Amino acid sequence: MSAPFDHRTPERLPARLDTPAVLMYHSISATRSPDPHGLRVHPDRLDQHLRLLRRLGLRGVSLSALLTAQEQGTARGLVGLTFDDGYTDFVEQALPVLARHGMTGTVYVVAGGLGAPKAWGTEPRWDIMDADQVRRVAAAGQEVGSHTLSHVRLAGLDADTLTAEVRDSRAVLEEVLQAPVPSFCYPYGNFDAAASRAVRAAGYDNACVTGDYDPGDRFTVPRCYVSPRDTGAHLLARLLRHRLRQRSPRRRTATATSAVH
């Protein structure tokens, strides 16, 4: 885990963004093969989570929709839904569940790995969606965001590689979609000041971290990890915890968790 990036200075304290909770999923699959990193949620479990949101009067939306609503003062009752890495099972397993509940989310795709098994980290090597599947996701009303070219840790990267990972991944997805790609997600939630600047310079509108980040702005939107074992009660606890954190006074230390995601 690299040193967390604290962009606050005495001269410039950014406005705190009181976003609703943003949930972070990865793979959505009924497969029983090993999932050592706890990144695969069963589609029935996702269905259970979205049913709970509806019972609570909440609706899951993409990051762009969430932040737009935030600006317009209409974010009450919304929850952000995000799915990292762009696994093919999103198309097969998550899309029908989201459609059933009339909800949307943002899928952060590793743009340099389209149509191939994931090439970073350790096994399992789940498949990343291809260009046609990316287009299908967008056509179904879901948002496609960038998750870099190769799922590299961005903090400390040399300037050229950093620019390529951030800017070129956006260009790849915009070429595939023939539409703007405003949302970005830092792999492993890992970033530093240079990475955050690169994301802004590449023309993105917003970026997500992993776990808590205080205070969050639109380029450091915090997210709640969802475990494969999370029942409705667990999810409710995560939503309540987020709300309590939002109400608590600003903390002096920023934390950006970095796990295996």
Residue ranges that bind Zn ion, judged by CB under 5 A: 84-85, 187, 261
Query: Min. distance of Cβ 231 from Zn ion in angstroms?
Result: 24
**Contact (CB, 8 A) for 152 and 165:** yes
Q: Which is nearer to Zn ion, 218 or 223 (CB)?
A: 223
Angstrom distance (rounded) from CA 92 to CA 232: 23
Residue 134: what are its φ and ψ, rounded to 5°?
-60, -45
Output the CA angle 213-47-92, nearest 5 degrees.
95
Query: Min. distance of Cβ 251 from Zn ion in angstroms?
Result: 26
Q: Which is nearer to Zn ion, 58 or 110 (CB)?
A: 110
Look at residue 90 and give its three-state secondary structure: helix
Query: Min. distance of Cβ 147 from Zn ion in angstroms?
Result: 5
Query: Min. distance of Cβ 32 from Zn ion in angstroms?
Result: 22
Query: Min. distance of Cβ 94 from Zn ion in angstroms?
Result: 15
The H-assigned helical ranges of the chain are 43-55, 63-72, 89, 95-101, 131-139, 159-163, 169-177, 193-201, 232-247
Q: Which is nearer to Zn ion, 84 or 212 (CB)?
A: 84
**Contact (CB, 8 A) for 138 and 173:** no
Q: Which is nearer to Zn ion, 39 or 67 (CB)?
A: 39
In the bound complex, which residue of the shown chain has the CB atom lying closest to Zn ion?
84
Q: Which is nearer to Zn ion, 35 or 47 (CB)?
A: 35
